[in-house]
Amino acid sequence: MTTRNPLKRVNSRGESSSSSNDDLEPPVAKKRCDYAPALSSPAPLWGEVTLPSPRRTQLTYEVAKRGTEEPVRVYADGVFDVFHSGHARALMQAKNIFPNTYLMVGVTNDELTHSFKGKTVCTEAERYDALRHCRYVDEVVTDAPWALTPDFLEEHQIDFVAHDDLPYNCGDTDDIYKTIKEMGKFVAIQRTPGVSTSDLIARIVKDYDMYIRRNLARGYSAKDLNVSFMKEKEVHFRERMHALRTKVGGKLEEWEEKSKDLLAGFMGLFGRDGRISEFFYDQKEKVKRVLSSPQERDSDDEAETSSMATNGHQETL
């Protein structure tokens, strides 16, 4: 078996930020690191790591907070289905509870999870592997129990358990972390609002048809997506109709603009005040004048002259 030493935080001068267990003075404020070293291999599984020997005496929260030479062994557990930023942020909090932390993450297997919580999206192997590639995790405990016991904590030499403070009922127990809290080994961390596996699944279910269309377009079969033959044909039909509406919609907008120009031109020619109407009105007046008697023409001329004089006088005023 191999031993995986957890990375220690160092300041810009390369000095370790951890302090002695006997040091009762508050720790010096940490300096900003010049860089954050990345890991080059996944975290090991339980059984691949040699436990510290001999076992040290039990730590109190206050002593662990001051900083210890030997890493404080913190345990966080969960299902971790469809690993997301909410999971990562919770583990980041657990990793940074104490100045020198060795973070162990317990992941429940499929059988236990399906019996208590329902079917998962990812298999247990996929969930184990996702945790191994999270930068805050030092060790992954597979087949983790649903409820922790003092014997489990002793076997894994766990100093503290990190989880959000909401009560988790199971069977006859109103909170599976009640015993751990009574032992003084529980440390509360916070959830990330609006980010959970249930939220992600709800988003997919909400846009179910869209994701079906997308995956069918990418080559997945109806069998792969567990949809019926009729559903597949319905989705293909809707996709074609959507493409047709998009294509025709663009043409309709183009035709609408052209029709507005044509209508404006038509009204300019044939409308009530259009050029054609003015032309026919002028021709009609000329014909009427030719056919009218001399007296009528003289009367019209006088009326026109009088009208022009009146308009001119009004303009002068």
* CA pair distance 298, 225, nearest whole angstrom: 93
The continuous run of DSSP H or E covering 41 comes out as none
* CA pair distance 202, 53, nearest whole angstrom: 47
Least reliable range by pLDDT among 83-87, 148-152, 251-255, 295-299: 295-299
Residue 298 lies in a domain: no
Number of domains in the chain: 1
Residue 92 lies in a domain: yes
Residue 112 lies in a domain: yes
In this structure, are residues 27 and 19 in contact, taking their beta carbons and an 8 Å threshold? yes
Across 14-23, 63-72, 229-238, which has the greatest mean pLDDT? 63-72
Amino acid 79: pLDDT:
96
What is the number of alpha carbons within 13 Å of residue 300 lying toward its C-beta?
A: 11
Residue 158 lies in a domain: yes
Q: Is the dihedral of CA 123, 129, 135, 140 positive or negative?
A: positive
What is the number of alpha carbons within 13 Å of residue 286 lying toward its C-beta?
A: 6
Domain, as residue range, for 77: 61-203
Kindly state the average pLDDT of the residues 99-113. Answer: 96
* CA pair distance 311, 215, nearest whole angstrom: 78
In this structure, are residues 81 and 73 in contact, taking their beta carbons and an 8 Å threshold? no
* pLDDT over threshold 90, residue 59: no
CATH code where residue 127 lies: 3.40.50.620
Residue 102 lies in a domain: yes
Residue pLDDT, tens place only, 196-218: 898 988 988 888 888 888 888 88
Residue 246 lies in a domain: no
Residue pLDDT, tens place only, 142-174: 999 999 999 999 999 999 999 999 888 877 788
Residue 294 lies in a domain: no
Residue 12 lies in a domain: no
